[in-house]
Chain A
Amino acid sequence: MAEKVIEVNNLFKIFGKNPEEAFPLIEKGLSKEEILEKTGNTVGVNDVSFTVNKGEIFVVMGLSGSGKSTLIRCINRLMEPNRGEILIEDTDVSKLSKEELMNFRKEKFGMVFQHFGLLPYRTVQKNVEYGLEVKKVKPSTRKKRAREAIKKVGLEGWEDQKPQNLSGGMKQRVGLARALAVDPDIFLMDEPFSALDPLIKKEMQDQLLELYEEVKKTTIFITHDLNEALKVGDKIAIMKAGKIVQMGSQEEILTNAANDYVRDFVKDVDRSRVLKARDIMIKPKTLLKPDQGEGPRTAIHKMRENEISSIIVVDKDKKVMGILKIEEALKILQNKDDENLKKYIKEIPRVDPGDTMDDMFAQIAELDIPLPVVDKNDELMGIIIKSNVLSNLAPEKVI
């Protein structure tokens, strides 16, 4: 499953007349500014290593000047890296000859640009055909595949328009279709949605994810927007001054910021839209299992022991049956109604592990009982209680 597609090892890109001069200084640990002052060379990418697995969206995030655009351009060698390996399915891109590189780009990469990079003198159809034209695909096949790609991004009927007649969002759809048409193994997306206004941006992100549900392409996605990174990324790397300062899954980035730089990013994130039920759920301290002969007395005992006022009841398959409150349990004892335990168990709402906190707010607000998180088979995965919701909403972890 986790098949490595891209592996980058110790990549360096230094701009300037004598890049080699900068290496000893980098080794000494001097900062980007100091190196610029001493040698006149700018460090673009500084010792970057990462791997991307098949079908993964690897997001590189950073402010402008952090080297993220340089990094993506080194991958397909629009910029020549100074040192380091770029292995794409065991081919070292940095060692390819000009000719080999040309053919490699044709087969492997589809690139999407921040300002779309559309050819203004070509129609939408012809723009989308470009990659195929370069590959010398037959005109009839070319046309067909371009039309399919245009259809996928929802631009049917616009084939004969010039890019100047399209809105920003539509232009980027053309850019996307152009990359889709060649059906590459790897997508390189350089801030594809950064030039779009927020509403269109959200729409495009949704569409991208929708497209990815059909075919998951290995992707390197550059952005400066953490919300976008968290939305589309499977794995996120945060760059600063040419270095990757932290790399990990969404939760890792959000919950364990490696340093102040990352913390500054994370601070502004609307966590309620990012954190999902599965990220904030906790393991229930205890459960009531009537199928194992546990009755109201066990329930009261368990609740007292754990200082809780209600207990989730599950059957032998761990399926949630409902909740038993302490008052109800006491009532059973008063009425001596042990056989009808099921009558006292209350039905409760459940949430999906993929629901964001935003989705769950209505339920959480009225929460005085735990909210069970269940999978497709109604099996209990964890619970959400008010206190951990609140602690997760706070920008810094409150302990």
Chain B
Amino acid sequence: MSAAEALTLEALKEGEEGIVTAISAPKPLRVRLLELGLLPGTRVRLLRRAPLGDPIEIEVRRTRLSLRKSDAARVFISIPKSQGASP
């Protein structure tokens, strides 16, 4: 697996956008994330991290969701081209 593929939602910086590529999680969590609209191809944005660093807040399909870092680490993403390569 190349480094680009291993990028997860958890690793996004505040304000950064990504596109979901896959979810690798046990079924209950996977189904829940998919049903909340985190389907492959969906654009997500990391809004912020909680004051203690965990959980994180993301924006997806016009709603804000909060999820734990450990769960966000199971959502693989790619960085959209428009945003360019992140530093």
Are A and B a genuine interacting pair, yes or no? no
